[in-house]
Chains A and B, each alone.
Chain A
Amino acid sequence: MSPTTKNPRNQYLRTDRMPHIWCPGCGLGTTINCFITAVEECGLPLDLISVVSGIGCTGRIAGYLKLDSFHTTHGRPIPFATGLKLANPKLKVVVFSGDGDLCAIGGNHFIHAARRNMDLTIICVNNFTYGMTGGQVTPTTPMEAVSSTTPYGNIEEPFNLPFLADCSGAVYVARWTTFHVRQAAKAMREAIQKNGFSFVEIISPCPTLYGRRNKLGDGLKMMQAFKDNSVVCNDADTRSVALDFRGKIACGKFVDREKTSFLDMYNTKMAERFGPFYEPYEGVK
């Protein structure tokens, strides 16, 4: 075998946009790598995968993946993805969203897309902070943690995202850290293959802002902490997987269930109402 000089993953990336804007030690590169593995393992034609993201560090993922990719507005990738999916249900639509984008400004869209079981895969890169704007508190920042807008420590209880997704109706819910690259890739693959609203939370280090302010060390140290503190608990009750500051990180696949997706429900209902005259909706012609 002759040695290759090109990274085989380049074909998935907009190499003409490199170098990227992310900081050393950031978990977003690892997340992309896991996603590419998942895409390869799915065997889906790349032309049929669309990536939608919102705003923030995670929002920039759409700009680096060489797929049909949409960098939308802050908090709104899920409703954009909803329209895209409904216009062309043959597309596999994956949303990348940071914790602030997904569950602060976009929180309402998240719970409603889960409730209606829209066939979307949501990958939330949770680094407990707004990176792009300089490290402010988010709805997932643990109590006590310091951020630029909670200089004396956070006093608000954070969201437990797997529980939020679960109780809103998601059919697939998993959480891994960027240390768990194989498990994360597998979870992303399973999520993509699921018909319905699937959710994967990736706990990711932000050594530049969250890590530095909270004296958690550099990227390597934060990864070591992910390794040391994570506990695999598949099928755990999502009520029990909340995260706290410097505490254990419950990882695993928490929810994997079958439920009719929005579009299947729509076609079933309309066929019932219109009878044999109804042509199942398979996208706009």
Chain B
Amino acid sequence: MKADPKGVLTGAHFLDGDHACCEGALAAGCRFAAGYPITPSTEVVERIAARFPSVGGIFIQMEDELASSIALQGAVWGGAKAMTVTSGPGFSLMMEHIGYAAMVETPCVFVDVQRSGPSTGLPTLPAQADMMQARWGSHGDYEVIALCPNSPQECFDLTIKAFNLAEVYRVPVMMMMDECVGHMTEKVVIPKASEIHVEPRRYTTAKPEDYLPFKAEKNSAPPMVRAGDGYRFHVTGLTHDERGYPVTNAEVQDRCVRRLVDKIRANARQIIMLEESDTSDADIVVVSYGITSRVAVKAIQQAREDGYKVGHLRLVTAWPFPEKRLRTLASHVKAFIMPELNLGQMYFEMQRCVEGRAATYLLPHAGGSVHDPELIYQKIAYAARHMRVKEGKEKEAAK
């Protein structure tokens, strides 16, 4: 399906990431948004409040993030494409409803413009502090999809992608932005509506008497219904069977939760987006995401000019994590370096996948700024030195 031209502001613009995210949502067909003001995400909802009424949409500022994160799900079950926008402290409040969305399979988008924490932290400054919370923040077993834009252009492009993924897999999809990406202003090119792919909601074609709302093909999401269409269906956050009825036993729990997890795990290859450069002959690979990937590029370029065999793996999709790619790379790469704006989150996921077959280095940063590329360069040099020492020792031992 192509985008509705009504919501598409075709042309070249000079926009910040927050505004671009709003335009991405409009292009994707989002017509309902609920939000609560929070720095540094507020510009997204401000633009939504101004733009939505003129394109047949509606925005409501709710009383808190708990309300926003469930109002959007009510809207989805009423037939809308919907999203909410927040930052760290609000994201913490939304965990309850990320779990609900996962459990009842509400296709929806959560935008988190990350700032430093814990608690109120540094409201106006960047961090990548919510990466693990995005994955594990709500209780129970579930899977989500999380995307990490590194420019205003990607805030536009990936917001569309987020909505499309939400429709295919019926999971909450997170846009893991950060203060830098949200507030940096760059050129954003919005294509013609006819050039934008929009995933339509997949509604059931079954008759109401035959319809089982939570019966799905293997490793996929079931087709949807919306309130008012005559299906008289039931939705519950309790463990439920295919009819959507609550059932309290271990067998149904296993079936229900495994499907929620498997529909993402089994399709990880289709979902994951990566950007790679110079990894095929690299001894050292810098793994980065979001704003940190912009900073890393400068250090990597310098290091290559200076003769280091360094590659770059950029995670556009943070969740599901590109386990397989990391494992494959670990067969020839000798060291992985991850700079991130936290004191170690995605690093541990990377370390898990490398399985001790290469050295792994964390370049932590508590947030409030971005890494100095020089520090990343130094880490590359440090890793190379260690690699040489290790190789020397191995040769020595072989003699």
Contacts and interface: CB of A to CB of B under 8 A. Distances in A.
Do A and B form a real pair? yes
Interface string B77-88: 111111000000
B237 A82 contact: no
B232 A46 contact: yes
Given A47-B232, A63-B234, A83 B72 contact: yes
Contacts of B31: 284-285
Contact of A279 (B56, B68, B72, B74): B56
Contacts of A48: 228
A68 B228 contact: yes
Contact of A80 (B57, B70, B246): B70
Contacts, number: 159
A22 interface: no
Contacts of B246: 63, 71
B53 A84 contact: no
B352 to A, nearest CB: 32
Given A72-B100, A76-B97, A109-B63, A66 B74 contact: no
B100 A284 contact: no
B229 A47 contact: yes
Interface residues of B, number: 46
B248 to A, nearest CB: 10
B358 interface: no
A83 B79 contact: no
A83 B66 contact: no
Contacts of A159: none
Contacts of A71: 234-238, 246
A108 interface: yes
Nearest to A66: B232
Contacts of B68: 79
A82 B246 CA distance: 24
Given A83-B70, A83-B71, A88 B63 contact: no
B32 interface: yes
Contact of A284 (B32, B74, B229, B245): B32
A86 B235 CA distance: 19
B2 to A, nearest CB: 15
A245 interface: no
Contact of A82 (B53, B71, B226, B235): B71
Contact of B234 (A69, A87, A112): A69
B63 A87 contact: no
Contacts of A82: 34, 60, 62, 67, 71, 74
A277 B56 CA distance: 11
A224 interface: no
A90 interface: yes
Given A83-B34, A88-B226, A109-B67, A68 B231 contact: yes
B46 interface: no
A78 B58 CA distance: 18
Given A68-B233, A71-B236, A274-B54, A84 B67 contact: no
Given A70-B235, A71-B235, A79-B71, A281 B78 contact: no
A79 B62 contact: yes
A180 interface: no
Contacts of B80: 83, 87, 284
Given A79-B62, A284-B56, A88 B234 contact: no
Contacts of B79: 87-88, 283-284
A274 B232 CA distance: 38
A160 to B, nearest CB: 21
B75 A50 contact: no
Nearest to A79: B67
Contacts of A78: 67
Interface in A257-285: 266, 270, 273-274, 277-279, 281, 283-285
Contacts of A16: 245
A73 interface: yes
Interface in A41-99: 46-48, 50, 52, 62-63, 66-73, 75-76, 78-88, 90-91
Interface string B194-209: 0000000000000000
A274 B64 contact: no
A57 to B, nearest CB: 14
A84 B77 CA distance: 7
Contacts of A6: none
Interface in A164-184: none
Interface string B154-171: 000000000000000000
A17 interface: yes
17 contacts: A46-B232, A69-B232, A70-B235, A71-B238, A73-B100, A76-B66, A79-B74, A80-B73, A82-B74, A83-B71, A84-B75, A84-B78, A87-B78, A87-B82, A88-B226, A277-B54, A284-B32
Interface of B: 31-32, 34, 53-54, 56-58, 60, 62-64, 66-68, 70-82, 96-97, 100, 226-238, 245-246
Given A73-B100, A109-B67, 9 more contacts: A62-B234, A75-B66, A79-B63, A79-B71, A81-B74, A83-B74, A109-B63, A266-B58, A285-B31
